[in-house]
Amino acid sequence: MTRIKLSEYGNSPFEKLIGHNKIVLDKWIDLEVALFSETKLDKNLLEQVRRTIAFENECEYCMVKAGKPNFDLTEKRISSATAFAQFFAIDHKSINDKHFDILREEFTEQEISELCSFISFITACQKLGRIYNLTENYQQNKVVTITELNG
């Protein structure tokens, strides 16, 4: 059971938690669409980043949606982005200039800006899911269970 009741407004259980304020949900969705579609970053890279931080943020709802990250470690852009995202999720206060120098080896300034914005937004989503107790039972699109992930 979620910690607050689902509203009537929104398409998914996650949206219905935010949907108690329609304006906030509408803007939230607009930002989500922009971050996923109006970007120079590859869709698979974004998905691997989303999966990576889901496990650090311990959001069951997000973890079971597509499972653990799944990419070839030789894919330098994805490896750099997921490593940065994981570090962001673990200890964002320790990020320094060297981390951005590493990102600059693979990404433009625009891409770094988009990546950091994406990571921040997804982190907020996943932390909301976690605090509201949005468990795997609410994920309509799950491909794996928590038991399978922990097995």
What is the residue-wise DSSP string for 62-112?
A: HHHHH-S----TT-HHHHHHHHHHHHHHHHGGG--HHHHHHHHTT--HHHH
Report the percent of the chain where pLDDT is more than 90: 99
For residue 151, pLDDT beyond 90: no
Q: What is the per-residue pLDDT across 107-116, written as a single tens digit (0 to 9) for each?
A: 999 999 999 9
Give the residue from 36, 33, 32 showing the smallest Cα distance to 44: 36
Mean pLDDT score, 5-18: 98
pTM score, two decimals? 0.95
For residue 11, pLDDT beyond 90: yes
* Residue ranges covered by each domain of the chain: 13-141
Q: What is the DSSP letter of 13?
A: H
Q: What is the per-residue pLDDT across 73-114, written as a single tens digit (0 to 9) for each?
A: 999 999 999 999 999 999 999 999 999 999 999 999 999 999
Give the residue from 109, 86, 84, 114 showing the smallest Cα distance to 99: 84
Confidence of residue 66 (pLDDT cuts 50, 70, 90): very high
Instruction: Report residue 145 as tokens.
Output: 């269970």
Please tell me the predicted confidence (pLDDT) of residue 85: 98
Distance CA 20, CA 8 (A): 8
Question: In whole numbers, what is the pLDDT of the chain averaged over residues?
Answer: 97
Instruction: Report residue 91 as tokens.
Output: 């200890």
Please tell me the predicted confidence (pLDDT) of residue 135: 97
Please tell me the predicted confidence (pLDDT) of residue 134: 97
HSE on the CB side for 149, CA within 13 Å? 21
Token match 């794996």: residue? 144
Distance CA 3, CA 31 (A): 25
**Domain 13-141, what architecture?**
Up-down Bundle (1.20)
Please tell me the predicted confidence (pLDDT) of residue 75: 96
